[in-house]
């Protein structure tokens, strides 16, 4: 096979994977965010009054999801790295969380709401880290950034559609004696269960056993990933526990975890976004409709930033740009009550706050070499521990309309994030100099997570 023939087959392979894999995963992620964020929408529809919740109790109901979500991500990702059918594993979780979300419609008290939210976190823990790992098993590092961006676009579409769907479901309030917010959980939960069942029959598995590919495409799909990684990925026999300990021994992991904590804290604005938009003074229906444009804009923003990131090979400069933009979106609501200025800041807020998370996952996949179980453990550790920020940050969103505590804290958080990622850039440049020197210097770099296979392929840290 000539190089030209191989490139033609590879282009056809990537197009086929994009057409089969990304739409399914994207739809499931839209539903994932709709089901996770519908409690924030239910606040506008009277759940606090019906269940007699205080502001602090509602904040606890928001944050307690992560009590279930965080501890189950790591074991789930270690499991998914070893099962032969990760697609079926993911779809099974979709059916479970959809069922739990629908059951939220039946809660009658604060205690039952907390119980359902914890269980929802447990069942949702499989999805995001699992899908990030799953995509990295299909795409090369040059391709992965745009696909991760597509995943986050789906997240923002979930937020946008969540508001639009809620505005429609609001008209069901009182039908059959059921409150509108209860209908919201029923409708969205049932849609998720049905989608999970359908996806289980369509979603492909690993490249080496994917039924949607012919034998030539399967061989090429495996070969190009092995060539890039410097390891026989399909035949990797590194144990689950060994991969986990490798991730823990890599000092870069702790920096990534901390940066993700900062990025997740900044992103908590999306947990309360309907309440933030409500401070503009419009009625419930208009407020829900106004939540959609910022999320749609964020989707386009993600694709543009990741396109230029992939094209330039840079990540750091785009993260710093988003941090600067985030600062502006936090300062404006503190400084003014002008409706136009505040909504302008809100239009940019989800895009600026969430884009660094996409770029961090891309950076982790570039800087945390295989074996695949180490990569899976690294993704889960970064996402699960990073999500702890959602717990404490949920208690900052009080005292509208300025939300001084929330936006003031977010300003400090993104400044710390900027300092840490700058220092990390200094560190990886130093590691690259050691790798360039070769000999004993390169062996010292191996103590920081670089394998012999990477050395043989002249692998380097990129993105800065």
Which residues are registered as beta bridge partners of 463?
314
pTM: 0.77
How much of the chain is helix, strand and coil, in % rounded to 5?
Answer: 80, 0, 20
Mean pLDDT for all residues in the chain: 87
Question: Can you give the pLDDT at residue 102?
Answer: 96
Residues sharing a CB contact under 8 Å with residue 120, sequence separation 6 or more, in sequence order: 35, 36, 65, 68, 97, 100, 101, 104
Q: Identify the top-confidence range among 110-114, 134-138, 374-378.
A: 110-114
Integer Cα distance of 144 and 342 in angstroms = 35
Question: Can you give the pLDDT at residue 239?
Answer: 65
Mean pLDDT of 280-309: 90
Lowest mean pLDDT among 66-75, 159-168, 292-301, 343-352: 159-168
Q: Identify the top-confidence range among 326-330, 380-384, 460-464.
A: 326-330
Question: Can you give the pLDDT at residue 234?
Answer: 47
- Read off φ and ψ for residue 213, nearest 5 degrees: -105, 150
What would the pLDDT profile of 117-144 be if each residue is shown by its tens digit? 999 999 999 998 889 888 888 888 778 7
- 411-419: list long-range contacts, CB under 8 Å, 24+ apart: 411/327, 411/330, 411/331, 413/262, 413/265, 413/266, 414/262, 414/266, 414/323, 414/326, 414/327, 414/330, 415/323, 415/327, 416/262, 417/259, 417/262, 417/263, 417/266, 417/323, 417/356, 418/320, 418/323
Q: How confident is the model at residue 324 (pLDDT cuts 50, 70, 90)?
A: very high
Nearest Cα neighbor of 352 from 413, 426, 423 is: 413
Instruction: Name the one residue in this structure whose structure tokens are 């009658």.
Output: 108
Question: Can you give the pLDDT at residue 141?
Answer: 73
Nearest Cα neighbor of 179 from 96, 106, 99 is: 106
pLDDT above 80 for 445? no
Mean pLDDT of 30-46: 85
Q: How confident is the model at residue 225 (pLDDT cuts 50, 70, 90)?
A: confident
What would the pLDDT profile of 6-21 be if each residue is shown by its tens digit? 888 888 999 999 998 9
In 140-276, DSSP assigns E strands to none
Residue 83: both structure tokens together: 């099962």
Question: Can you give the pLDDT at residue 89?
Answer: 93
pLDDT above 60 for 296? yes
What separation, in Å, do the N-terminal and C-terminal C-alpha atoms of the chain show? 36
Q: How confident is the model at residue 457 (pLDDT cuts 50, 70, 90)?
A: low
Residue 322 in contact with residue 421, Cβ under 8 Å? no
Helices (H), 313-451: 316-335, 339-367, 372-386, 389-393, 404-437, 439-446
Supply the DSSP symbol for 461: -
Integer Cα distance of 191 and 31 in angstroms = 8
Fold assignment, 3-456: Growth Hormone; Chain: A; (1.20.1250)
Mean pLDDT of 438-464: 74
């Amino acid at each position: 096979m000539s190089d030209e023939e191989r490139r033609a087959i590879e282009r056809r392979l990537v197009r086929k994977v994009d057409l089969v894999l990304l739409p399914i995963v994207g739809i499931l992620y839209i539903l994932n965010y709709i089901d996770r964020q519908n409690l924030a929408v239910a606040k506008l529809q009277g759940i606090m009054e019906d269940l007699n919740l205080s502001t602090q109790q509602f904040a606890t109901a928001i944050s307690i999801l992560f009590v279930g979500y965080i501890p189950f991500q790591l074991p789930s990702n270690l499991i998914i790295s070893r099962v032969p059918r990760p697609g079926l594993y993911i779809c099974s979780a979709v059916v479970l969380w959809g069922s739990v979300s629908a059951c939220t419609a039946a809660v009658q008290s604060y205690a039952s709401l907390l119980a359902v939210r914890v269980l929802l976190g447990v069942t949702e823990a499989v999805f995001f880290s699992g899908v990030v790992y799953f995509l990295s098993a299909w795409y090369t590092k040059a391709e992965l950034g745009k696909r991760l961006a597509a995943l986050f676009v789906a997240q923002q579409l979930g937020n946008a559609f969540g508001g639009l769907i809620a505005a429609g479901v609001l008209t069901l309030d009182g039908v059959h004696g059921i409150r509108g917010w209860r209908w919201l959980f029923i409708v969205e939960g049932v849609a998720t269960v049905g989608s999970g069942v359908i996806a289980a029959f369509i979603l492909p598995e690993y490249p080496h056993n994917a039924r949607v590919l012919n034998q030539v495409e399967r061989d090429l799909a495996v070969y190009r990933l092995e060539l890039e990684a410097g390891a026989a990925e399909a035949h990797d026999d590194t144990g689950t526990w060994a991969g986990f300990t490798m991730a823990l021994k890599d000092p870069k992991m702790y920096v990534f975890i901390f940066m993700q904590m900062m990025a997740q804290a900044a992103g908590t604005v999306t947990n309360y976004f309907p309440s933030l938009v409500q401070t503009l003074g419009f009625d419930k229906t208009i407020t829900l409709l106004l939540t959609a444009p910022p999320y749609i804009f964020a989707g386009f923003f993600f694709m543009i930033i990741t396109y230029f990131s992939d094209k330039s090979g840079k990540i750091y400069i785009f993260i710093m740009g988003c941090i600067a933009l985030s600062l502006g979106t936090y300062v404006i609501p503190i400084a003014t009550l002008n409706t136009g200025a505040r909504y302008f800041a809100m239009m940019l807020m989800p895009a600026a706050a969430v884009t660094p998370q996409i770029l961090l996952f891309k950076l982790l996949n570039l800087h945390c070499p295989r074996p695949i179980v180490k990569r899976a453990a690294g993704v889960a550790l970064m996402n699960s521990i990073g999500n702890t920020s959602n717990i404490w940050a949920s208690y900052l969103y009080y005292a509208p309309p300025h939300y001084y505590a929330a936006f003031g804290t977010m300003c400090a958080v993104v400044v710390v994030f900027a300092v840490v990622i700058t220092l990390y850039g200094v560190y990886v440049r130093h590691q690259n100099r050691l790798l360039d020197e070769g000999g004993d210097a390169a062996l010292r770099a191996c103590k920081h997570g670089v394998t012999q296979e990477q050395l043989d392929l002249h692998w380097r840290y990129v993105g800065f």
